[in-house]
């Protein structure tokens, strides 16, 4: 029977590419999004994948949203924690709300969503959780103490939960994208982006599909021996 997958922030950018790759591979897919109804509606029309609106930073909203998805689509076997935001600024100018929103949306969401699906995965002795980190969580980035801290936290979260899930058939991994051509990166000033691309050995930004490919590998039934790891997909920009 087809596995069921939930991709948070699945209606745009990297999340959309992950949804499409999973659907093409035979998964039943549900996407989540935060507030952009127009983008979500267009996504569903394009892909035929249902989109569910709830704030991944809100524990109770996530619990309700995931309950709805499980009733409509089925028990979640695969969770891709992809939703993320940036609120950049150097530390000496950063407001507490910029810090908190980024921590809650990028990192708190991993706890909220994993917490809502973990009991079912444990009962069924199968689960795949992939958390989308970032090159900037691995290497740091000027103007992003909030984002780098949240993404770096994802990598620790991944390793700890991998240890808890291992005996129950649940793998937990992270994918750390480099710079990928999405709305998030299009918001970077052109002169800064030019300098970023000059530092990418393959000479281009990533495509959302480059990241989707890595996720598809990690969530496969056959990837049961891969857990607690981070797969960097960054065109060689940063090598661990
Ligand atoms: P986009 O900004 O293109 O899309 C973000 C998605 O997340 C949208 O679907 C958005 O929904 C959703 N979202 C945002 N906040 C919330 C929320 N509170 N609750 C639910 N959904 C929410 O992002 P990208 O595709 O560029 O990034 C995807 C992931 O990859 C992020 O975690 C990002 O940090 C990470 N990443 C991206 C890189 C890049 O270069 N693009 C590099 C490294 C990591 P809505 O449309 O409703 O706003």
Alpha-carbon distance of 134 to 114, in angstroms, equals 19
pLDDT in tens, 165-196: 999 999 999 999 999 999 888 888 899 899 99
Q: Is the pLDDT of residue 240 over 80?
A: no
ipTM above 0.95, yes or no: yes
Residue 84 pLDDT > 70: yes
Task: Report which protein residue has its CA nearest ligand 1's atom 7.
Answer: 9
Residues lining ligand 1, CB < 6 A?
Answer: 8-9, 11-15, 32-36, 39, 55-57, 82-85, 105, 132, 134, 177, 179-180, 182-185
CATH classification of 4-230, choosing from 3.30.497.10, 3.90.650.10, 3.40.50.970, 3.40.50.720?
Answer: 3.40.50.720
Q: How many CA atoms lie within 13 A of 79 on its CB side?
A: 30
Ligand 1 atom nearest the C-alpha of 12 is: 9
In 3D, which of 28, 25, 112, 14 has the Cα closest to residue 66?
A: 112
Alpha-carbon distance of 49 to 28, in angstroms, equals 9
198-214 tens-digit pLDDT:
999 999 999 999 999 99
Per-residue pLDDT tens digits for 113-132:
999 999 999 999 999 999 99
Ligand 1 atom nearest 39 alpha carbon: 46
pLDDT, tens digit (0-9, with 9 covering 90-100), for 39-69:
999 999 999 999 999 999 999 999 999 999 9
Average pLDDT value for the chain: 97
**How many beta carbons lie within 10 A of that of residue 192, not counting itself?**
10
Residue 211 CA, closest ligand 1 atom number:
30
Q: Which distant-in-sequence residues (6+ apart) come within 8 Å of 209 by Cβ?
A: 17, 21
């Amino acid at each position: 029977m087809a596995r069921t997958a939930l991709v948070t922030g699945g209606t745009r950018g990297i999340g959309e590419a992950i949804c499409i790759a999973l659907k093409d591979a035979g998964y039943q897919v549900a996407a989540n999004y935060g507030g952009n109804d127009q983008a979500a509606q267009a996504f569903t029309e394009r892909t035929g994948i249902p989109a569910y609106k709830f704030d991944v930073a809100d524990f109770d909203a996530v619990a309700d949203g995931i309950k709805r998805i499980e009733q409509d689509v089925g028990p979640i076997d695969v969770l891709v924690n992809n939703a993320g935001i940036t609120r950049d600024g150097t530390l000496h100018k950063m407001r507490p709300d910029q810090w908190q929103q980024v921590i809650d949306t990028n990192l708190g969401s991993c706890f909220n969503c994993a917490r809502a699906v973990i009991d079912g995965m444990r009962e069924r002795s199968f689960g795949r959780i992939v958390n989308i980190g970032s090159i900037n969580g691995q290497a740091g980035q000027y103007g992003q103490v909030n984002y780098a801290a949240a993404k770096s936290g994802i990598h620790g979260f991944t390793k700890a939960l991998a240890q808890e899930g291992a005996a129950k058939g649940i793998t937990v991994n992270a994918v750390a994208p480099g710079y990928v051509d999405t709305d998030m990166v299009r918001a970077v000033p052109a002169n800064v982006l030019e300098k970023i691309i000059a530092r990418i050995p393959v000479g281009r930004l990533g495509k959302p599909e480059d990241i989707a490919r890595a996720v598809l590998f990690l969530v496969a039934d056959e990837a049961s021996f891969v857990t607690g790891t981070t797969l960097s997909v960054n065109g060689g920009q940063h090598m661990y």
